[in-house]
Structure 1
């Protein structure tokens, strides 16, 4: 187990070291659980209050924190400790324990092109025409399809599926079980169907005879691919469908959480945050720096502008201008939704008051 001196950690993070900076630590821990050889992560005041419950000699603290008063021998302080944690956690990550090189149980087609330093894990499959960039790690049981392109320094965890003609940029991280390049959910009927009529009538008219009798669905094949930009991260069991004609695209720096569904032809901009269980229906366009809270649903063929934020479980049924903060079903400005919700909570009391007033009026009616 590798050990790091406090002074070296601080220098690597651009942070400030205090006290006995030669103290060596081997890993990170929460304050109450920390051993003497671990760095206590006390990046909030409520965490720092628990340092005395553990045995830590050193801690990561916010800038200006009184580390001596906490009984510590050393400390690392940073103006934004959570940001410092990004570099610190990378330094302390022990990895997955996979061996380097190409595992003997992996299948790599002779027509695949592997650059220098590529690692292929046990039972992985790389098909003909695939290209894998320098230093990329393909984990156990991964599948890389025909003519797929994987950039440099990517990291694909176990069980990732990358279909034919999918393109990943450099430094892309994909978590276990994610599927990139499945066919889009795209079907059509010979004549107008219930979806067509519902869109036009919004449910105000009875279904036509054709819809009432039902029709079989014909499959529209997905001829496009998926294009993933540099520095994208894709969560466990997330699914990104290939486009019908053009590629589905995810911009550089975007982070997609577990169990997200990105439909065919969707375009997502740069540096977006797509949280868990988000669903984006086909052909919608998401701008740059958009944050979609968990379980947000985006209907098809919509546009979500730059810097939009949606709260958890928001359902977007119409396009959203840039810069809006949205919440609710259907999505509305968050402030409006909160005001409406407060009004709903007051309804029972309001109804009781109306009933009481109604009774008073009836009791005072001179005709009675």
Structure 2
């Protein structure tokens, strides 16, 4: 899979200069780029590495002096990082999954596979499943009863999809993701100490133990189009209605979504985020790594939560949050600064007390 500099530039809508007939086989960092590689030096601070490699062509920032760098060709995208999306898509060699259905795959006779579906070794597709045109079901995947996969869905190896889950077109699901497990829903016959603690926020003292009784998950999971699910993600079924993810939302590795959670469109949910049951997340929300979201709260459109933030209550649209418990980011930063000043402040207070007490004794 090779392309000329001209082909890459055209696909990106970018300008190119020099010998645009040069053939590119790979992308590489400047210091390790070879003669058939496209060196990625899209910021002046990376250009120094070009002298350590042997690249003939590079992707540079606008107006860069490519000839002074000893290059034979260059591409100049107006938004370099966005250009990375198109360039990496062109040069991605994929996972090498074969076309057609592997003989070791187990497919129920009532499952419906559209044209061009690829099913890998030891995959299982259960009764009533419907797999959309051009989809890929990787090795060791499990597709449950009555699952629907949209057109061009792409499941990497060892993905598990529970019964009645619906996944939209062009979804990408990374290895080890588990979608459609039962929700973590349990109840006691009489009001529990947990329920009392939520009301009073106080100690409960000794109490008679009660067994936790399962609430079954009658809902499933519905995922929109162009969604990506990272490695090791776990998404619970809803209790009565489905747990839902909107269009074009991206989940990083090890994200957990509890039962009945609803996430809107165009959200970015980073690694190790945990979202408790029945939380509602709006559109265009960004949650950095290890954000925690309390159950039954609402996070409004456009909210950004910094790394490690714990959202304990409803967050209005457009807020940028940080800390535990979360407050607006600028206020939280002021608090952090104040905390760092506390030792010095305490020393100053101690010195002032000495002066005051000394003056009182002198009087």
Scaled to the shorter chain, the TM-score interval is: over 0.9
Q: Which position in structure 1 is the counterpart of 2:74?
A: 75
Greater mean alpha carbon deviation, residues 161-170 or residues 4-13: 4-13
Partner of 1:213, secondary structure, is coil
Contact 2:2 2:91 in 1 (8 A): no
Partner of 2:67, secondary structure, is coil
Alignment of 1:56-135 (within 5 A): 56-135=55-134
Structure 2 unaligned segments of length 5 or more: list them: none
Q: Which position in structure 2 is the counterpart of 1:19?
A: 18
**Shift of the alpha carbon at 1:208?**
5.8
Structure 1 residues 337-365: Cα deviation after superposition (integer angstroms, max 9, x where no partner):
00000000000000111111111112222
Alignment of 1:156-305 (within 5 A): 156-203=155-202, 206-207=203-204, 212-305=207-300
- What is the alpha-carbon distance in structure 2 between the residues aligned to residue 366 and residue 86 of structure 1? 74
The size of the alignment, in residue pairs, is 363
- What is the alpha-carbon distance in structure 1 between the residues aligned to residue 92 and residue 362 of structure 2? 84
Structure 1 unaligned segments of length 5 or more: list them: none
**Shift of the alpha carbon at 1:3?**
2.1
Structure 1 residues 214-260: Cα deviation after superposition (integer angstroms, max 9, x where no partner):
11100000000100000000000001111000000000000000000
Structure 1 residues 271-302: Cα deviation after superposition (integer angstroms, max 9, x where no partner):
00000000000001000000011100000000
Greater mean alpha carbon deviation, residues 145-154 or residues 53-62: 53-62
Greater mean alpha carbon deviation, residues 352-361 or residues 65-74: 65-74
Q: Which position in structure 2 is the counterpart of 1:315?
A: 310
- What is the alpha-carbon distance in structure 2 between the residues aligned to residue 111 and residue 39 of structure 1? 48
**Shift of the alpha carbon at 1:44?**
2.0
Structure 1 residues 178-214: Cα deviation after superposition (integer angstroms, max 9, x where no partner):
00100001000111112101111112xx4166xx221
> Aligned pair 1:357/2:352, yes or no?
yes
Partner of 1:336, secondary structure, is helix
Q: Which position in structure 2 is the counterpart of 1:41?
A: 40
- What is the alpha-carbon distance in structure 1 between the residues aligned to residue 44 and residue 163 of structure 2? 50
- What is the alpha-carbon distance in structure 2 between the residues aligned to residue 358 and residue 70 of structure 1? 66
- What is the alpha-carbon distance in structure 2 between the residues aligned to residue 86 and residue 117 of structure 1? 26
Partner of 1:288, secondary structure, is coil
- TM-score with structure 2 length normalisation? 0.98
Q: Which runs of 4+ in 1 moved over 4 A?
A: none
**Shift of the alpha carbon at 1:367?**
5.2
- What is the alpha-carbon distance in structure 2 between the residues aligned to residue 61 and residue 192 of structure 1? 64
**Shift of the alpha carbon at 1:31?**
0.4
